[in-house]
Amino acid sequence: MQHDERIPLVWDMETSDPDDFLTLLMLLGHPRVDLRAVTVTPGTAEQVGVVRWALRELGRDDIPVGAYDLGRDKPCVSQWHYDAYGAIAPSRDAEPGPELLRRALRPGVTLVTGAALKNLGGVIRGPHADEFVLDRLVVQGGFAGEGVVPAERQLEKFRGLVTCPSFNLNGDPKAVLAALAHPGIRSRRFVSKNVCHGVVYDAGVHAQVTELRQRSASLALIWRGMDHYLRKHPAGKIIHDPLAACCAIDGSIGAWAEVEVYRAKGEWGARLAEGTRTFIIVDYDRPRFLATFLAC
């Protein structure tokens, strides 16, 4: 792929911590991304309000928003969003998430998900599921361990493990298994915790954002949120979802192994396999990731 091409992309997110919102801000300002739609899980009015606020702030209120369950009572938005960005009104300006995905995921469009796969599950378990085609699915979640990741690349906290719980995948395991089996999904990439737990937005990254924030409204909003976060958590924040989105923009950020992804006793693992069209990350290029992240 030529680096001057814009990648048509749909972002499927949640709002339980800063990761997904930072990713939304990055995608909205990234010169290599054509953001076509945003879907939210579970999709409360408070979540839609936060997404709509970001779209307005960055002049992209034209982007459609989908919600899986707009009627849910629990807000499902972390306090960080309001502490960092101020009072944000709820909004019901969203359509059903699976319907929006079905319309938005045309040939050539990439779906990146940092949430439970409920919206995608609604597509591949819904009407006309056998006609559904998705060129590329990038999922933040899963786990590659012993037997897939060489010992010298394993993070200490996961050393020797074969399976591990995965928050996003366990949010709707049936949807994940359906996505793994669906013949219309032509390529699947899992940006899993065996790598992303080693990717941290710390004071060093914040210093780079500080230097660049004047050039970009997206970076200015990222700086605002993370400046607040780092005052309370100076060690930094693991940034799972920005890594996944950056891997969708530039696949060479990751080192990948073709695998079979499986679930066992509530945990997820991967075993090396050929012909699955399913790949999992085993390492990443940090300078290339930061260059992509900071380009927004």
Q: Which phi and psi (to 5°) does residue 158 adopt?
A: -115, 10
Give the up-direction half-sphere exposure of residue 118: CA atoms within 13 A in the CB hemisphere: 19
Identify the bridge partners of residue 35 per DSSP, sorted by sequence position.
9
Q: Which two tokens stand for residue 183?
A: 């013949």
- Backbone region of residue 108 per phi and psi (left: phi > 0; alpha: psi in -120 to 50; beta: other values): left
| Residue 165 belongs to a domain | yes
What's the per-residue H, E or C state across 187-211? Answer: CEEEECHHHHCCCEECHHHHHHHHH
| Residue 241 belongs to a domain | yes
Domain that holds residue 237: 7-293
pLDDT for 3: 46
pLDDT for 272: 98
Q: At what angle do helices 45-57 and 217-232 cross, to 10 degrees?
A: 130
| Residue 264 belongs to a domain | yes
| Residue 59 belongs to a domain | yes
The count of structural domains within the chain is 1
Task: Write the DSSP string, 131-185.
Answer: G--BSEEEEE-----TTTS-GGGS-GGGTT-SEE--HHHHTSHHHHHHHHH-TTB
| Residue 2 belongs to a domain | no
| Residue 63 belongs to a domain | yes
Residue with tokens 């940090």: 286
- What is the CATH classification number for the domain harbouring 113? 3.90.245.10
Task: Write the DSSP string, 269-284.
Answer: EEEE-SS--EEEEEEE
pLDDT for 4: 56
| Residue 1 belongs to a domain | no
pLDDT per residue of the chain (296 residues) written in tens, 0 to 9: 334 589 999 999 999 999 999 999 999 999 999 999 999 999 999 999 999 999 999 999 999 999 999 988 899 999 999 999 999 999 999 999 999 999 999 999 999 999 999 999 999 988 888 889 999 999 999 999 999 999 999 999 999 999 999 999 999 999 999 999 999 999 999 999 999 999 999 999 999 999 999 999 999 999 999 999 999 999 999 999 999 999 999 999 999 999 999 999 999 999 999 999 999 999 999 999 999 999 99
Rounded to an integer, what distance in angstroms lies between the CA atom of residue 31 and that of residue 140?
22
- pTM for the model: 0.96
